[in-house]
Amino acid sequence: MLRTVLRLSLTGVLLSSLAANAQARELDTAFGEVAVPDTPERIVTLYEGALDASVAAGVTPIGAIATRGGNEVATYMGEHIDTSQLEMVGVAREANIEAILRLQPDLILAAPQLPEEQYRLLSRIAPTVVPNSTGLSKEGWKDESRIFGQALGKDAEINEALEAVEQRAAELNQRLSEAKVGGTAYIVRWMPAGPMVMSSELFSTGVLASAGLTVDDQGLVKEDSAHSDILSLENLSLIDGDWLFLATLNEEGQQALDAAKQSSAFTRLNVVEQDHVVPVNGQVWSSASGPLAAQALLDDIEEALLP
């Protein structure tokens, strides 16, 4: 019975998406023009940035992939929506296409680096929007959010959310410069053998920069790589700036800090002696992107730098 209903409705969706082209909107994506329904209702997000943008635009998807390093979506999402309602359709490494098919979405929002083979299959299930961005960049997430917002038919809402982020960043920037707080900052991930320096061309480093900090990766990070090789402990002085943000893949930034503090090479850094090390939640800082994550980052920065 259920199956019949599912099938009929899916057939309906497929047919209607063909028939309704006239009223559908066209979007420019990485795989060319894609027609999306006017008011999509069953949305599946296969990218943390897409989930963030949807929720920021006021739309709750029915399915999403788990955050990196977890089996659920990132915990900061729980402040905005009831995450238990979200069906998990895979992990960042691979989406489970059968699970997506079972949800019969009418719109799929995917990551910029979606492989073409996956796109071909997904686009048979529902119109699939893949943002047209290449490589890493500080501001690329805004364009991604915008196209996801357009796909959802929520242009105004997403622009409002992005403006709110920019406004808040500018405000924070001013307050920091008034308080004479700032300078250079590094984001590192602490591994047992030493730190990995995150690229300066990332979402999180972009938000840091917008708040007025100078983010640098000392040329340690190769082009198009998110982070450097593990740095030798003898070279920790390379990350001895004014602020150090310490992340793991997970929420346990504090644990990473405790681990790092066991190394004498770390504790003798100026930035550590001044207590300017900020342990942060890696789910937001190294995996997520989008307006809501940006607000969460700005919260963290404000709390740490303007106590």
Regarding 97 and contact with other proteins (CB under 8 A), the answer is yes
Polymer length in residues for the chain: 307
Q: How far apart are CA 63 and CA 83, in angstroms?
A: 10
* CA neighbor of 27 nearest in space, from 156, 113, 152, 151: 151
Q: Is 180 left (phi over 0), alpha (psi -120 to 50) or beta?
A: left
Regarding 85 and contact with other proteins (CB under 8 A), the answer is no
Chosen residue from 101, 181, 185, 187 binding other proteins by CB under 8 A: 101
By CB under 8 A, the count of residues binding other proteins is 57
Instruction: CB nearer to other proteins: give 170 or 193.
Output: 193
Chosen residue from 41, 170, 268, 270 binding other proteins by CB under 8 A: 268
What does the per-residue mask of binding to other proteins show for 186-215, with x meaning CB under 8 A?
-----xxxx---------------------
Chosen residue from 27, 44, 110, 238 binding other proteins by CB under 8 A: 238
Tokens of 298: 């700005």
Q: How far apart are CA 40 and CA 20, in angstroms?
A: 12
- Least spacing, CB of residue 243 vs other proteins, in Å: 21
The answer to whether 135 and 224 are in contact (CB under 8 A) is yes
Regarding 62 and contact with other proteins (CB under 8 A), the answer is no
How many other β-carbons are positioned within 10 Å of the β-carbon of residue 267? 12
Chosen residue from 81, 164, 259, 304 binding other proteins by CB under 8 A: 259
Regarding 124 and contact with other proteins (CB under 8 A), the answer is yes
Regarding 146 and contact with other proteins (CB under 8 A), the answer is no
Q: How far apart are CA 290 and CA 307, in angstroms?
A: 25
- Residues numbered 9-28 forming contacts with other proteins, rule: CB under 8 A: 10-11, 14
